[in-house]
């Protein structure tokens, strides 16, 4: 079973390597990423203003993005998560709107790329079907 050689915003090769060089595990992770995070943006937007809920939402996304190899998304989420954790520690920190806008754009691009790959997955594997 093969994986995409290139996928916009992803380092698929590194992700598969972390998954014991088993492409089927990557396909499973992509399927979970696509289905589990389909409504993430709406949930996250609703959490803004509640630092605890927003941090948990961003943390989950960061972890999942890193797992499937969506590096830019994982990095954007990590940046926001770090600021939210500082706020939760009682530090006076402001979160720039530009950081949230970067995360939103990165999420949309990565989720769309993942959804397209999953939908077009290997016919014999059943991925995306």
pLDDT in tens, 54-110: 999 999 999 999 999 999 999 999 999 999 999 999 999 999 999 999 999 999 999
Asked if the model's pLDDT at residue 127 lies above 80, the reply is no
Task: For Cα atoms 82, 56, 95, give the angle at the middle one, nearest 5 degrees.
Answer: 40
Report field, pTM of the whole predicted structure over 0.75? yes
Question: What φ, ψ does residue 53 adopt, rounded to 5°?
Answer: -65, -40
Architecture of the domain whose range is 12-119: Up-down Bundle (1.20)
% of the chain surpassing 70 pLDDT: 93
Q: Is the dihedral of CA 5, 80, 45, 101 positive or negative?
A: negative
């Amino acid at each position: 079973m093969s994986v995409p050689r290139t996928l916009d915003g992803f380092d698929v090769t590194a992700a598969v390597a972390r998954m014991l060089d088993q492409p089927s595990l990557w396909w499973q992770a992509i399927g979970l990423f696509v289905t589990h995070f389909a409504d993430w943006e709406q949930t996250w937007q609703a959490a803004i203003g509640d630092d605890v809920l927003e941090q948990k939402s961003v943390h989950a996304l960061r972890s999942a993005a890193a797992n499937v190899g969506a590096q830019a998304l994982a990095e954007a989420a990590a940046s926001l998560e770090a600021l939210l954790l500082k706020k939760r520690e009682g530090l006076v920190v402001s979160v720039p709107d530009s950081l949230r806008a970067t995360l939103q754009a990165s999420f949309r691009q990565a989720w769309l790329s993942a959804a397209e790959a999953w939908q077009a997955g290997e016919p014999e594997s059943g991925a995306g079907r």
